Structure 1
Amino acid sequence: MSNFDTKELRQVFSQFPTGVTVITTRTADGEPIGVTASSFNTVSISPTLILWSIDKGAHSLEAFKSCEYFAVNILSDKQIPISNRFAGRGQDKFGGIDYTNGLGDAPLIPEALTQLQCKNWNVYEGGDHLIMVGEVVDYNVTPNARPLVFSQGSYSQASPHYDVSNTQQVEALRQHEFLEDHILYLLRVSYNQLSQVFYDRLNEAAGVSPEVWRIYACLADGNPLELDTLGGFVMQPTRALSDALNSMGAHVQCDGDTAKLTEAGVQVACKLLAVEKQYKKELADRVGADQYDEMKETLRQLYSREKL
């Protein structure tokens, strides 16, 4: 048996991007329950089978083992709060959610990218998890929505990949000035190029990942921050945030529902912020300080309006 470090292994597994789902059903007493899961996958077209896995220590284990039906709610990229809610414990997960009931009264999450209603087909052993196989008997799809993605310890978004140098179709579009005039394309290409340089420098300076860098930046003032708030800032669900905090060792102190940097952690944060400050200066020098500030203000306005 391999003696792997559990936290490190989770980071290894997180290199494979997955969608994010909320699996729902009812207990024998009729109580609605749901859990966030990224282990969903398809199995067969005929019969129409899917699978997902549940921790043997999960509070909802018995309900899912014995239920007749469950629903797989594949989340859209606008449903990070839903994912975080069902990943946690100790709260009314369905409170304020205007859900409907599917087969077996399994709750269907509104505005989910896809809702798969499944009959409990079989349960298999899978180490410290049980593998739940369901037969899809009905489904709904929300048009014009995009999937929520989980990759490398944080939430991501899916977008079409453009190989500008080799794809003839993209070259044709460029000739028609479509992509070069498309704001989302320009933002994505700029982000991909600029962020890679920046993240490489952070790794060289302190050996940190982009996810851990965001935590240092949010806690750099030395003041405590609630974990729910911190998770929202760094776009990480509960377990991934916990693993990231644990990887920071003596640089962070967690006290109940809050986290703060230790003195050593603040020193590392200051070092990383110096790297960030230098990189911002280089970007400003490339386009001019005034144009750089105008660009930031324009992006803030776009972001604020999008949030509304």
Structure 2
Amino acid sequence: MSNFDSKALRQVFSQFPTGVTVITTRTADGEPIGVTASSFNTVSMSPALVLWSIDKDAHSLDAFKNCEYFAINILSDQQIAISNRFAGRGQDKFSGIDYTHGLGDSPLLPEALTQLQCKNWNVYEGGDHLIMVGEVLEYSVTQNARPLVFSQGSYSQASPHYDVLNTKQVDVLSQHEFLEDHILYLLRASYNQLSQVFYKRLNEAEGVSPELWRIYACLADGNALDLDSLGVFVMQPRRDLLDSLTSMGAHVQCDEQTAELTEAGINRAQKLLSIEKQYKQELASRVGADNYNDMKETLRHLYCREHL
């Protein structure tokens, strides 16, 4: 039996991007139960079978193991808060959620990207997890929504690949005038291209991932920050945030409530910020300093109004 470090192995597994789901059912007493899971996968088309796995130490294990029906709510990229809520313990997870009732009275979460209503088809042993296989009996899809993605320990969004944007879609832009005026397309295409270059520089210079870069940037001033706020800023659930902080070694000090950089961590943060400053200067020189500042103010204004 291999004696892997569990945190390191979890980081290895996180290199495979997945969607994010909340699986729901009812206990024998009729209590609604829900857990966040990224282990969802398809199994068969005929019959229509899907699977997910649940930790044997999970509080809701018996409810799912013995239920007749369960629902798989595949989350949209606007539902990070829902994912975090159902990933936690010790709270009424359904409080304030206007859910509807599916097969077996399984809760169906509003605004989910996709909902699969399943009959409990079989349960298999899977090490420290049980593998739950369900037969899909009903499904629904929310139009014009995008999936929430979990990759390398943090939440992400699905978007066209950088190479695609710089080959096939360049030709599309020249052929279709409406894309040239579509601000969301231009914003996403620009972000994909610019972030690809920036994150590559960070990795080549200091060997840090985008997730670690965000942590260093948030803590660069040397002040402690509570983990809940830091998790929101860097888009990581608490468990994955703690794994990231652990991987930083002597560069960070943290407990169950807060985290702050050590002197060595601040020194690395300053190196990363100098790379970011250089990249900003390059961008400003490409479009002109005035245009660059106007662009930032416009984006800040759009972002703030969107979140009022």
> Fold match, TM over 0.5?
yes
- Alpha-carbon distance in structure 2 between the residues aligned to 1:269 and 1:206: 10
TM-score w.r.t. the length of structure 2 is 0.92
Q: Which residue of 2 aligns with 1:240?
A: 240
Q: Which residue of 1 aligns with 2:145?
A: 145
TM-score w.r.t. the length of structure 1 is 0.92
Instruction: Count residues with an aligned counterpart.
Output: 307
How do residues 66-77 of structure 1 correspond to structure 2 at under 5 angstroms?
66-77=66-77
**Larger deviation, residues 171-180 vs 33-42:** 171-180
**1:126–1:82 Cα change, 3 Å:** same
Q: Which residue of 2 aligns with 1:110?
A: 110
| Offset of residue 218 of structure 1 | 0.9
Q: Which residue of 1 aligns with 2:133?
A: 133
* Overall identity of the aligned pairs, in %: 81
Q: Which residue of 2 aligns with 1:24?
A: 24
| Offset of residue 170 of structure 1 | 6.4
Q: Report SS of the residue matched to 1:71.
A: strand
Instruction: Check the 8 A contact 1:114/1:141 in 2, yes or no.
Output: yes
- Alpha-carbon distance in structure 2 between the residues aligned to 1:122 and 1:170: 48
**1:165–1:81 Cα change, 3 Å:** closer
| Offset of residue 202 of structure 1 | 1.6
- Alpha-carbon distance in structure 2 between the residues aligned to 1:211 and 1:181: 32
Q: Which runs of 5+ in 1 are unaligned?
A: none
Say whether residues 1:213 and 2:213 are aligned partners. yes
Q: Report SS of the residue matched to 1:163.
A: helix
- Alpha-carbon distance in structure 2 between the residues aligned to 1:243 and 1:139: 35
Q: Which residue of 2 aligns with 1:163?
A: 164
- Alpha-carbon distance in structure 1 between the residues aligned to 2:104 and 2:257: 36
**1:166–1:255 Cα change, 3 Å:** closer
Q: Which residue of 2 aligns with 1:177?
A: 177
Q: Report SS of the residue matched to 1:269.
A: helix
Q: Report SS of the residue matched to 2:76.
A: coil
Q: Which runs of 5+ in 2 are unaligned?
A: none
How do residues 1-308 of structure 1 correspond to structure 2 at under 5 angstroms?
1-160=1-160, 163=164, 167=168, 171-172=171-172, 174-308=174-308
**Larger deviation, residues 146-155 vs 36-45:** 146-155
Q: Report SS of the residue matched to 1:223.
A: coil
Q: Report SS of the residue matched to 1:97.
A: coil
User: What is the root-mean-square deviation in Å for CA atoms of aligned residues?
Assistant: 1.9
**1:271–1:165 Cα change, 3 Å:** closer
**1:265–1:18 Cα change, 3 Å:** same
Instruction: Check the 8 A contact 1:20/1:37 in 2, yes or no.
Output: yes
Structure 1 runs of 4+ with >4 Å offset: none
Instruction: Check the 8 A contact 1:101/1:108 in 2, yes or no.
Output: yes
- Alpha-carbon distance in structure 1 between the residues aligned to 2:186 and 2:173: 14
Q: Report SS of the residue matched to 1:30.
A: coil
| Offset of residue 29 of structure 1 | 2.3
| Offset of residue 56 of structure 1 | 1.5
| Offset of residue 17 of structure 1 | 1.7
**1:49–1:261 Cα change, 3 Å:** same
Instruction: Check the 8 A contact 1:88/1:238 in 2, yes or no.
Output: no
| Offset of residue 164 of structure 1 | 5.1
| Offset of residue 230 of structure 1 | 1.1
- Alpha-carbon distance in structure 2 between the residues aligned to 1:253 and 1:87: 25
Letter in 2 for 1:240: D
